[in-house]
Amino acid sequence: MPASFETGHRPDATGASPLTDAAWLDKNAKQGSLIGLRVLDLSRVLAGPLCAQMLSDHGADVIKIEAPQGDETRLLGPPFVEPGQAAYFSAINRGKRGLSLDLSKPTDRAILEALLVNADVLIENFVPGTMAKWGLGYDDYLSKTFPKLIYCSISGFGDTGPLANLPGYDAVLQAMCGLMSINGDPRAGPTRIGAPVVDQVTGYNAFSGIMMALWARIRTGQGQRVEATLFDSALSMLIPHAANWMNSGNTPALTGSAHPNIPTYNRFEVGDGQIFLGIVNEGQFKKFCKHIQREDLLSNPLFDSNANRMTNREALRHEMEVALKGFNRAELCKDLMALGVAAGPVHTVPEAFQQPHTATRNMFIQRDDYQGVGLPIKLSKTPGSAGVRPPRLGEHNSDIIR
């Protein structure tokens, strides 16, 4: 156990922690900056499990504790990796051990409390008030009984305010917090962002909060409650749309793939498909116009500044796409990137993972027991690694309870 974690673990007579099954850990040896950290993951669906998986990827010993019916993402298929385990579940639960408990029963709550003696972090995403109903509330009980514990609560709306204690899901929060209102084409109307971005950002916020709480514990010797909500996370994502509205009074509108402030930051048609251009300054615009042999755009008073290009963005788009029809998307993007002009083909998901750069960055894990997305956070001296396949429901009950 690294001393920096300032934990209060008490080894048993053999010198091994009661929380860890030595045989399992030896067989599935981890690496990373969080080796020695013990995490109880009571969460389900996406944000909480993703946070716990990130901790596991970087070395933490994570026990996923599920109700007898299991995390509902186990059934959100097809596709299924195996019976009872959807691919969805496998994306956010690798590297964990599996324990099934019914926390409505005193005997199973006693098992959880025994595990808490040696735990650093507990993550839960029950409707606020659920843990207190079971006699496991943070303020009234856990903070007093386990003062070093980092208790991470993830919920839709938190436990304060008019919407407190209500259930929340990603797309509902996208709608409520304005994200859908800025995503989509005007002809189609507000559109859900295809990836569950609110859940994912909430998971990252929870991860960051846990790391900050662990750092604070080094100084204070005390744990604390970390709260991450979908509502707060969704509002925090409105950059720059919230600032634009706050300072102009104008309600942000649907712009498709376009940027609200930069007309050349958009998706464009080329000869064999679509590309996205990231032209954000005058130097890049000049290089782009020269490369597509449309330097006349630079001297046109309609397009000679970002403000003028914004005013005349549809006319500019027409001129650009006429010129781009003669280009191949792969070659054009390669040439523009070499010039310092950001550009990328609009790839499908398979195309994204078939890029050579994906393999170089170790972002596509392909093993006999598991396939998944790689680690987005890379440390030079204490690198993490993708853990073993996700556990089956209650797979490690006998080892952990023993």
Alpha carbon 63 to its chain centroid, in Å, reads: 20
The single residue of 108, 199, 272, 335 carrying the catalytic annotation is: 199
Alpha carbon 317 to its chain centroid, in Å, reads: 33
Query: What values do phi and psi take at 84, rounded to 5?
Result: 85, 5
Is the pTM above the cut of 0.95?
no
- Over 50: is that where the pLDDT of 296 sits? yes
- Does residue 199 carry a catalytic annotation? yes
User: pLDDT by residue (tens digit) across 242-262?
Assistant: 999 999 999 998 978 888 889
- Over 50: is that where the pLDDT of 357 sits? yes
User: pLDDT by residue (tens digit) across 124-151?
Assistant: 999 889 999 999 999 999 999 999 999 9
Domain architecture of the chain: domains with CATH: 3-236+379-401 (3.40.50.10540), 265-346 (3.30.1540.10)
Instruction: Tell me what the mean pLDDT of segment 25-32 comes to.
Output: 70
Two structure tokens written together for 257: 């793939």
